[in-house]
Structure 1
Amino acid sequence: MSTLSRLSQSTVEAPISFLMREALARPELVSLAAGFVDQASLPLEETFRAVEGLLESSALGRAALQYSSTMGDAAVRDILLTRLLQADGVSGNSRSFEQVIMTAGSNELLYQLGLVLLDREDIVLCGAPSYFVFLGALQGIGARAHGLPVDHNGLIPEALEEVLQKAKATGDSDRIKALYLTTYFDNPSSITTSQKRREEIFEIVSRYNHQQHRLYIIEDAAYRDLRYFGEDIPSLFSLDLENKTVVYTSSFSKSFSPGLRVGWGVLPNDLVAPLSHHQGNMNFGAPHFSQQVIRQVIEGGDFDLHLSKLRLTYQKKLETMVSAAEEYLGDLTEVSWLPAAGGLYIWLKLDGVDTGTEGPLFPRALEKGVLYVPGYYCYPTEGSPPAHDQIRLSFGVQSVDRIKQGMQLLSDAIRETLAQKEPQYQ
């Protein structure tokens, strides 16, 4: 009999850990796998000025080095809520900074939401594909992730309606606790949920909740700031005027620095106390010093200036990856990819090719010297069946030259794989 808890026994190694070991063991590999940020763009000078500003005052410095409240620094929470409401074009709203929670990265908030909301065998609905780190967290908790089909506009509302109606008919409604969506530049597909879809999804969930159920929408907006083309879209959160349904989560890991570990979210009214209690028992709150650094860079204007430069950097990298895909893969009818207007990823589809670690392409790509994330990692075990012919490519960490080199190596591996006469999977 194991001495480990059921939670520990259910928690398996994240797929990205295997990919990272490959990358670290072979530094010459061009890794288009991990969603790391651009190393040269990390805000060294901006962070130095913020820390210097904190520590040149003994009062500010000691306050930053002290504990904060469990939910986070009140001033920081108010700043973040104000910026969110401004981005959404919302004024005169009833929301308060007391609904905002600070966490050590947005993944911590997602995990805490899982622990607060879910019992074993409870269900979280999500897109297929979806963010595989959260899928792994749900598996560890003992919850079930049920994938719903998506298209270029996001989650298909009719599929959501169908699964909710089926659950009602079978008496399983109480098991469905949340709908998880990355509404801006989805990880892995880079799809942004259209305004029309947001309204349709919110209407379906609201109608479902009025039937004595409680289904939360977890809106993951970690990539919202990384838009390179087009206009921003108001969040799903902005539709929730009664503060009952949408949990909005975000992070400074992609837009400023992952090393600071600053995530945050806005909670529906009835989740504020449960999350506060849970966080208080776990860590007494997110790192206060990091919160104060973020406050300094926002109030001093450095954050927005940095973000403007960062967008230009990533736009060039995205354009490089797409241009390389067109140059090296554009003549192959078996290969297609989704357009991206932001984020850090390109979602590639290869008809007739098993892209998994046990298929023919992955080892051949490693042999060539390029690493990618197999698409099937990003699919839940229930609902829409996983696709074995897709891959996620990240352009965040590699230089423009390395991106182009990696795409050429990947093209070589794909062409050799396609040259095999027999189909690779059924």
Structure 2
Amino acid sequence: MSPKKSGRKAARDSESDDLAVPAVASAAKATRPDGSRRVVITGAGTINALGHDVTSTLEAFREGRCGITQLNFRDVDRLSIQIGAQIHDWKPEDHFNRQQILLYDKFTQFTLLSAKQAVAQSGLNFAGKLGLRSGVILGTAGGGLNTWDDNYRAVYEEGKNRVHPFVVPKLMNNAAASHVSMEYGLRGPSFTVATACASSNHAMGLAFQMVRSGAAQVMLTGGSEAMLCFGGVKAWEGLRVMSKDACRPFSANRNGMVQGEGAGVFVFEDYDSARSRGAEILAEVVGFAMSSDAQDIVMPSAQGAERAITGALHDAGLNPDQVGYINAHGTGTAANDKTECAAVAHAFGHHADRLMISSTKSMHGHLIGGTGAVELLACVMALREGVIAPTIGYQEPDPECALDVVPNEAREAQVDAALSNAFAFGGLNAVIALRRI
């Protein structure tokens, strides 16, 4: 597909209505109490182990379906960890021509497909002045890891003395953001965030701030990761935090995380602009906060996580009792789960007993830098459809995780506000707040 043609087609094409709602009433205020702009989501797209679009992903959330399977790639038999949430049926030739495939690492391919879906649903056309007022901020931790893996093999294992001239443009972390910018003519603020497992949340939080402040009218944002290759899994094996059988967040018998791959991309737009053009609004982004533990490179801190949670509530102007659901970071490791539960319990006080908190990583795996983007879909589903995605694989209660983790089955419940947590290696925390509109 040529970039220009695909961009025009996406701008015309708004058939994706799985999260569609009528335009909001004109009487609603277009600014926040402090005078800053309100920010809404008008498009969403994804590909992950549960589905190649938002509709199939939300269906899997509702069904509590597991996307974790046996891995299938070169030399997988040399790994001690052989499971992951892999996208097995991915065929890049169905979406890109030969020249593009040579230039796009898998994480860029996932991003472009997700962005195409999001832009199509939004109905936006970035031609003219809008392109000058729009940008893209994406998160990824590894960038073109498949490209690194393939070319290390070529040089060190196969003895080749030359690599393709596009290796660097293909593997660089900002490749996906740059290609999305070029695809749609986004000439405003565009860059990539790399903060390990919090990359997507940091990216989306910064995009939110861009639109809220007036620095941009529209931002494409989210994240992508494609670490499921021999080198990508082998590196994680060394940390000894990986499960060999399943991801069971908050369950007393949990034994580690499971990697996944995929992408999620959203259109964040100025509320007044979205309303004036009659856009379908999925949810409102109302708050964002980030903090640093400044403590340990791998062990999480309950205090640091709590500061990010309370900061997001304060930024959103929400009281704890107004939040009904949290999509947890919930990796399934002993350290993360009990630390996160302690942080939530302290941040919400007595309301924590009435709060629903689930980890969808039990279904789609841990997408590392892309995980927050896919998980934001569960928050939107809770707000829009009143369906709470479950924590599957839950088997044994843990007294250190004594919250309502929505075990094993989705639940119907009206939710007015939701949080999405991300707590990364390096002690970097990012929490986003959404509200039903």
TM range, normalised to the smaller chain? under 0.3
More helix by share: 1
Q: TM-score, normalised by structure 1?
A: 0.25
Q: Which has the larger radius of gyration?
A: 1
Q: TM-score, normalised by structure 2?
A: 0.25
